Every structure is written in structure tokens, then in C-alpha cells.
Chains A and B, each alone.
Chain A
């Protein structure tokens, strides 16, 4: 559904942001895009939707070359940016202005999401709080029924109940022919939604693996002392004992601690990444 091959991108010469990035993403799945600040997550999303053009490499998204920005492509892809500014109008006017770009737009879905998010109707968008505006935009994004839905830090600025609402709405809307990419630092908000993890580090995609394969290879445990565990790859001190990432030798079915996995991959690249190359 999304295929990127050897993508190179830089804003300025000699300062690569994406260096030989290749990805292949399938429909019906939610991808979690993780990386430190400045690792190139947003630039990658912008390259996928045709907001930025790669200097070299080949990209194909739902059968289109994004950099050609063909209307039939743009109708099927939506980017929810991290930073946004909504125009000074009410929701009805906003819909009137922007839904014609998305022929598959689901009006009843949109209003249903607004209800879930408890957004008051008939308000000027500018009279809503930032978090409420973000929720309007999230509702709009999902209601476009775009085949490719890119969300840059969607839970930033949402309060705790809204994060629950967000998970419900996403869990209920993912379609079989749809691919979602969510970039995030707030891994804990979203880890129950993510099928597959993509980790970027220093201009590269260093890992793309389904959650199921990660927990096949690695086991995530809490232990009282480090002697209790064999083959630890990475440990963090916890309130009682240690949280450990270890090689999964006994076919345990542990739960992926995505935040710890992310830290582990960045700090112990040499011991963890080869496990996934087998």
C-alpha cells in the first residue's frame, strides 16, 4: 500500500534528514512511528503525502507517486499535523469548505465522533480550546475515510478522558483497506492500538517489526534481582526490582512494553537489531 525505496531527503545540502529510507506498509494495520525529536518522523510523513519531495528514491503510495499530487491521490490521503491553525468559522462552514475534497467523507461518522469527543456544536472553532480544536480535526481526519491516514502526535494536548475517546474512535474505525501511521512520543497512550513498530534514529529507519514478532523474540519481565533472569539485554530500575528486556528463550507470551523497547533499541542497537535480522 505504501512502498518507499531508498528515499533520500534533506532540507539543506549536506544535512540529510532521511538517508536511504525504505519501507513497505500494508493495509488494515496501524503503524506506530517512534523516534527522538528531530529523527525525521514528520519529514517522513510529509514525504509520504506529497508535502515534501525526496531528492532521490522511489515512492509509491496507493499506486500513486505522491510528488505528482494528483487529485485522485490527495482525495485518499489525509495528514493530521502536529501543529495546526483552524480558520475563524463554525463547524458547519468548515465542513462546507473542506469536505468537497474528500468524496468518501462520512458526515454521520463525523458527528458521531464529535459526540464521543463531547465537542459543543454551533461554536466558532476559534472559541474552542486547543484540545477541543484538535479533537475536531481528529474527527475530521477519520471521517475522510482516507485510505492512508497519517497522524503526527495526535494525542499531544489531549486530556486523559480524550485519550480514552481517541483509542475508542480509532479502534472502531480502522478499515481493512486502510493504513494508519501514528507518530508519537506518548507511547503509553497508544501502545494497545499499534500493530507494527517503526523506529527512526539518526536519519535512518532502524527497525520495522510487528508487535507479535517483537514479543516472539524478546521477553519483557519484572524481576526482583537480575540473577533471576537469563540473557538480559536491557534493564531499568523499577520501584521493586527491575524491568527487563531479555531474549525470549522459553516462548513466553509477555506484553510488549513499547516505551522500554524503544529505549532498549536506541541504547542496545548492536545486541537487539541483529535478533530481528534472522
Chain B
């Protein structure tokens, strides 16, 4: 995994875990790799993985069974979608609007393009 240079590593790892769940590589109620396993795979300090897992646990995306490690919550996908939607609205949308504003693009102009995009996604 290549880490970017801007965001804290523990958040990038949390993001990676969310990707795995959304893509259904890791299934609801399934076991999440142990702290050590993921530390080795991603070549980072196990304490950093621990921090990512604690963060995800606070968000209700994973939970811990005593002595057995971490598991994906039953409603993890729903929670991730909600969390990422919030993130999109807070962080990405303002930048997107800024570009639109600078380029003088109106929302109506985008509507048709977005509809076409959606149709292509459904076909694929």
C-alpha cells in the first residue's frame, strides 16, 4: 500500500479497511486481520494499526470479541457509507464547488452528464 503524504497514516489505514468492507473483501461478521498481520502487510508500527482499529471501533464499523480479535460489524457497510457521505459533503464538495465556481459551470449543466454516468455504471 502506498501512503499519501498528506493524511495521517492511521486514517489512511482506516480508509483501507473501509474499502475492503465496501468491496466485500471482508464480510460483515467476518474476522478482520490481526493487528500484527496488518502491521506486517502494510509495514507500519502495530501501535498505528491499533489506533486505526480503535478509531473504526468508535465509529461502530468493527467490534472486538474478547480474546478473539476484531470483527466487521453487521451494519458496517451502512455506517461506512454514512461516514463517507459526511466526509464527501464536508471535504470534497467545497473544493468541487470552488472549481465549478471558478470555471463558471452551473449545476444544470452537470445534470445531464451525471445521468449519463449513472446509466453507464448500471450497465457495467
Contacts and interface: CB of A to CB of B under 8 A. Distances in A.
A168 interface: yes
A126 interface: no
Interface stretch (B24-32, B45-53, B107-115): B45-53
A214 B39 CA distance: 22
A195 B9 CA distance: 12
Contacts of B120: none
A254 interface: yes
| Residue of B3, B7, B36, B45 with most partner-chain A CB within 10 A | B45
Interface size class of A (residues with CB under 8 A): 20 to 34
Given A172-B40, A192-B3, A255-B3, A30 B8 contact: no
Contacts of A29: 47
Contact of B45 (A164, A174, A253, A255): A174
A1 interface: no
B79 to A, nearest CB: 19
A19 interface: no
A241 B3 CA distance: 21
Interface string B29-45: 00000001001101111
B90 interface: no
Contact of A168 (B3, B9, B11, B40): B40
A234 to B, nearest CB: 16
A171 B45 contact: yes
B119 interface: no
Interface residues of B, number: 20
Contacts of A28: 47
Given A172-B36, A253-B11, A194 B5 contact: no
A148 to B, nearest CB: 17
A254 B44 contact: no
B15 to A, nearest CB: 12
Nearest to A243: B5
Contact of B6 (A174, A195, A212, A255): A255
B111 to A, nearest CB: 31
A216 to B, nearest CB: 10
A255 B6 CA distance: 5
A2 interface: no
B43 A255 contact: no
Interface of A: 28-30, 164, 167-168, 171-172, 174, 192-195, 212, 215, 220-222, 253-257
Interface of B: 3-9, 11-12, 36, 39-40, 42-48, 51
22 contacts: A29-B47, A167-B43, A167-B44, A171-B40, A171-B43, A172-B40, A192-B3, A192-B43, A192-B44, A192-B45, A193-B44, A193-B45, A221-B6, A222-B5, A222-B6, A254-B7, A254-B8, A255-B3, A255-B5, A255-B8, A255-B12, A257-B5
Which 3 A/B pairs are nearest by Cβ-Cβ distance? A167-B43, A171-B39, A172-B40
